[in-house]
Structure 1
Amino acid sequence: MQQVVAEPEVYIETKMKQFKLVDMRQQYPDLIAEAEMTAMGYRDFLVRLLSVEEEGKNARRTGKLLGNARFELSATLGEIDYDFNDTLDKEKIEALGRLQFLDRHENIIVIGPPGVGKSMIATGIGVNACHAGRSVLFVNAKELVDTLHAEMLIGKLSETLEKLNRIELLIIDELSYIKMDKERESLFFQIIRQRYEKSSLIITTNLPMGKWDELFTGQLAATAILDRLLHHCHVLSITGDSYRVKGSKNSVNRRIGIG
């Protein structure tokens, strides 16, 4: 039997609020007007309502994922200036931006001197992952190991590691000129080990892999970590001048009339 509703507007508002149909509730009067003006059929109107709600939920989810990721800069892969540096492999970077590596639980290591765009590439891939509904965390390498060490001292390491384990893409930025002691090295190795063949990492570093023993307590530790990282891994090696340094030089040249 069809339910008789005395006050349709109140009923619609109440039920949409109850079912958390945020975008439908905000937009349905305009959508009704649109349907009347275009003689939209019932099925098309229902599709229009559902698509509005879907788009709104996706936008809110993406916004939340981007906030939780804690990116240090706002960057997308589309902003990369490939003309600046011919060692930037556009085809490979764009392929990684399509995120199949996440489904295969593969890693990415981006190696190069300061200022060549390592963090921008990592961030751009991470932003794509957020838009695809994947959880991401961007963290500085030193801050990560220091945080893990502090959590260990207060007995909360297991809880923190479990939270990190639920992140689909962990981006560790600036794994470079820091020297880890045995405890921090062990904590870093736990991160690598627990994600091995289960979820993905992106690591940016200034150091060639042949010098990773300078990060850890020796060659043995560096080899154990690299073995797991490189087993399923894409390596981007970038050389050339710094974006920032070139920008400064260009600015000076313009001021003194060169170029």
Structure 2
Amino acid sequence: MSTIENQFTDLRLHGMYARWKAMVETREHHKLSFGEGVEVLLQAEAQDRANRRFDRLTRAAQFRYQATIEELNLESARGINSSQITELATGTYLDQGECILITGATGCGKSFLASALGYQACGQGKKVLYFNTQKLLMKTKMARIDGSFLKLFNKLAKTDLLILDDFGLAHLDKKQQMDLMEIIEDRHVRSSTIIASQLPVGSWYEIIGEATIADAILDRLVHTSHRIELKGESLRKKL
């Protein structure tokens, strides 16, 4: 290994190291001016760091599906507005702390759509966490018992995009109501939340249970939200 390659390795400039090796093997470095060579190496390093950050973000998110915006079925019959999806894909809603509420019958693609939007957010450098709602509320319950409650809630609050899937599969007890309220309150206006549910938004009051808490939660979610109501028969059934 040459002195230059050793320095790239010591400084952890992995993108530069890989690009330099390729340039030497093809003798490309002889064809470039000093400035051009430096620019090529810097671009390679920047791309490598972006790729590795993206990999870290997607692993940490723990998506249900490895889905992309390009893979979405944008047929209008499914209740998807392609212009709306295009707008959401820009990530503007993330910068404005807006929510996305996705509803529809079992198997119609809610989780896939939520995963695709989350995957897109990771590509834009955003921190994303994906949870089944009931499992998250079980996690908050255990965190209260073992004393890690503040740490968990700080992590949820600082996440750029929180995805709550399968919301409404079970009614919430008093502690779950309060935990959900605190999660939504911590994120209100500051960060974005995607909620996917089989139930229409109008039925969420009953699921949450306590009218006052339901009003507070839905007031923070609904008024600044993007709504997507998926239609059609189960995609799983078609497969």
Question: Superposed, which structure 2 residues align to 1:157-168 within 5 Å?
Answer: 157-168=149-160
Contact preservation (8 Å) 2:79, 2:228? no
1:9 aligns with 2
Structure 2 CA distance for aligned equivalents of residues 207 and 218 of structure 1: 17
The partner residue of 1:196 within 182, 188, 204 is 188
Residue 109 of structure 2 aligns with which residue? 117
Alignment of 1:35 with 2:29, yes or no, is: yes
Superposed structure 1 runs of 4+ greater than 4 Å apart:
none
Instruction: Tell me the amino acid that sits aligned with residue 88 of structure 1.
Output: I
Pair 1:84–1:237, CA change in 2 (3 A): closer
C-alpha separation in 1, matches of 2:238 and 2:194: 26
Cα distance, 1:239 vs structure 2: 2.2
**Separation in 2 of the partners of 1:85 and 1:120?**
17
Q: Map of 1:122-141 to 2, 5 A cutoff?
A: 122-141=114-133
- Where structure 1 has 5 or more consecutive residues not aligned to the other structure, the ranges are 1-7, 248-259
Q: CA deviation at 1:19?
A: 1.9
Corresponding position of 1:176: 168
What CA deviation, in whole Å up to 9, does each residue of 1:19-78 have, x standing for no partner? Answer: 211122233132241122xx2211111111111111111111111111001001111111
Q: Which moved more, 1:24-33 or 1:96-105?
A: 24-33
CA RMSD of aligned residues (A): 1.6
Alpha-carbon distance in structure 2 between the residues aligned to 1:146 and 1:116: 26
Unaligned stretches of 5+ residues in structure 2: none
Distance in 1 (alpha carbons) for counterparts of 2:68 and 2:50: 19
CA contact (8 A) 2:167 2:197 kept: yes
- The aligned runs of 1:59-78 (5 Å cut-off) are 59-78=51-70
How far apart are the structure 2 equivalents of 1:75 and 1:29?
Answer: 33
Establish whether residue 19 from structure 1 lines up as the match of residue 11 from structure 2.
yes
Query: Aligned partner of 2:177: which letter?
Result: E
| Residue 234 in structure 1 maps to residue 226 in structure 2 | yes
- What are the Cα deviations for residues 169-225 of structure 1, in whole angstroms up to 9, with x where unaligned? 000101022111101110011000000011110000111122112312233322211
Report the equivalent of 2:199: 207
Mean Cα deviation higher: 233-242 or 139-148: 233-242
> Is 1:112–1:237's contact at 8 Å kept on the other side of the alignment?
yes
- Note if contact 1:171-1:203 (Cα within 8 Å) is conserved in structure 2: yes
Q: Considering only CA atoms, is the larger Rg found in Structure 1 or Structure 2?
A: 1
Higher mean Cα deviation, 64-73 or 237-246? 237-246
Return the alpha-carbon distance in structure 2 between the equivalents of residues 218 and 193 of structure 1.
Answer: 16
- Partner secondary structure for residue 138 of structure 1: strand
Question: Which one scores higher on RCO, CA 8 angstroms, separation ≥ 6?
Answer: 2
Instruction: Give aligned pairs, total.
Output: 237
> Matches of 1:168 and 1:86 in 2, distance apart?
28
